[in-house]
Amino acid sequence: MPLQLLWLRSDLRSRDNTALHAALAAGPTLALYLITPKQWQAHQDAPCKVDFWRRNLAELSTSLAALNIPLLIGQLDDWQAVPDFLSALCHRHNIRAVHVNEEYGVNETRRDQAVQAALAAQGIPLHRYLDQLFFAPGSLLNKSGGYFQVYSQFRKVCHARLAAELPRVLPEPTPQAPLKIASDPLPESISGFAVPDARLQSYWPAGEQAAAQRLEGFVEEHLAFYQAERDFPARRGTSKLSAYLVAGVLSPRQCLQAALRLSEGRFTTDNPGLITWIDELLWREFYRHILHAHPRLSMGRAFKADTEALAWREAPEELAAWQQGRTGLPIVDAAMRCLLATGWMHNRLRMIVAMFLSKNLLIDWREGERWFMQHLIDGDLAQNNGGWQWSASTGTDAVPYFRLFNPITQSEKFDPEGRFIRQWLPELAGLNNKDIHNPSALGGLFGLADYPRPMVDLAKSRERALRAFQGLSKG
C-alpha cells in the first residue's frame, strides 16, 4: 500500500502541524525523525536543547500513536547522509510522497535541495509547507522589491496583513486506520550530548500539553500587563515559550490565536500588552526573513560588511570571566549564571550582556553568539544571530554604535530591589537595594572575598568602543 511520509524536524507537535495535516489528507501516513548528532554539534546546539528535543519527541510519539501514525527513528552522523537514507526508506516502505515543514538557513536549504533531487530521481515529490512563520519569505517586500531591513517597516506591513486576514489554526487531526508498521524505540540520550540535571529539565516540561498550559497561563494572567512587566527579570512578565516555539511544540498561529482572545479574536492595536507580545512574535518572523534573504548570516558574517574591519580584542581571560559570570558587574554575572543553570536568559538581560561583551570588552560578537547557542535551550540561528548583531551594531536595524547599555543603570532600573541578582548571586544577598547593583562603590568597605571587582572601567571602555567604531568611517 502506498504511503505518505511525514519528515519531522523543528515541528514536534501533532496539533496545527501543516505538513502532518497535508500528509494525512493525502493518504495513510508514516512519520520519521532523524537524529544527527554531528550535525547538531556543528551547529553548536546546546545539550539542554538536544535533550529538550528528545523529551518532546517522546511526548509526540504518544500523540502520534493515538493517531495510529508509526514513528520511525533514523540515526545518522549528519545531513550529508540524509538523501540516500530517505531514498532507501521510501523504497522500502513504498512511499508515494514526502511532506515537510520549511526550515531556514544555508545548511537546511542545501539539505532539502539535495533530498528533493534524490527523491525526484525516484519519482517521489517533496512537498514543503509554510509552518514556522505567518508569512513566507519573499512575500513581504518593500517598495523597491527587496526584503525589509528595518523592523518598524516590516512590522507595519505585517500588522496590515494580519488585520486583513488572520492565519488559520488547523483542526485536530483524526486518527487514521492502523498500519502494520511498528514504531521505533526512542533513545534515552543522544551521543555526544550530556543529559542536563533534573532541575534544569524541570524548568522546561516537555510536550504539547505542557506548552499549551504555559501559553494559557501567560495569556490569562500576564499578557494584559506584558508591556509594563516584560523588562523586569525578577517578575513573571514574559511567556517563556521560546523553547517550545523553536522546537515547534507550539506554532506561532496557536500563540496568536490564544493572544487574540483578549480582543475577542480580532487583530487590534488597542491593547498595549497584546500588541507588544505579538510584535515580539514578529521580531522572530523578521529575523527569519533576513536570514533567508542573506545566506552569509548563516556563515558567521556580519550584516554590515564594513564592521568586519572592527579591531576586536583577543582577551580569552576576559571572555572566560564573562562566560562564567565573574565580571564584577552583578546584573551581568547574575544573567550569565542563570543561563548556565536554566538554559535560558531574559531578553532584557540578553541585550545587557551582549552589549557588555561586544562594546565594553570589545570582544567579537561571534564569541557571544557561539556561547549562547552552546547553552540556550531556545537557541535559534536567526534569533540568536539577529539579537547579537543588533546589540553589537553590526546587523540589520541595529542599535546605533554609540548607544551602550550601562549595566549598573540598567540593573537599577529593571531590578530595582535586586531580587534577580540575589537569586543568582547569593554572595551579594546581604547588600542593600542600592549597593547590590554596584558593590565596588563601597570602596574599602567592600569586603566580599567571593565576588570580584569590576573587570573594566565602564566609562573608559565605552570610549574605547566608540573609537573603534568611529575608526571604521575614517578607514
List, by residue number, the catalytic residues.
280, 283, 312, 347, 365, 388
Residues 457 and 345: beta-carbon distance below 8 Å: no
User: Taking Cα atoms as reference points, which of 186, 197, 196 lies closest to residue 47?
Assistant: 196
What contacts 24+ positions apart, CB below 8 Å, involve 58-65?
Answer: 58/186, 58/206, 59/12, 59/206, 59/207, 59/208, 59/209, 60/8, 60/12, 60/13, 60/14, 60/207, 60/208, 61/183, 61/186, 63/13, 63/14, 63/208, 64/14, 64/31, 64/183, 65/183
Decide: 122 and 98 in contact? Cβ < 8 Å: no
Return contacts of 433-441, CB within 8 angstroms, 24+ apart: 436/330, 437/330, 437/331, 437/408, 437/411, 437/412, 438/330, 438/408, 438/411, 439/330, 440/328
DSSP letters, 368-417, are HHHHHHHH-TT--HHHHHHHHHHHHT-STTPPPTT----HHHHHHHHSTT
Comparing C-alpha atoms, which of 272, 303, 449, 309 is closest to residue 385?
Answer: 303
Does residue 53 contact residue 37 with C-beta atoms inside 8 Å?
no
Q: 3-state DSSP: the chain helix, strand, coil percent, rounded to 5?
A: 55, 5, 40
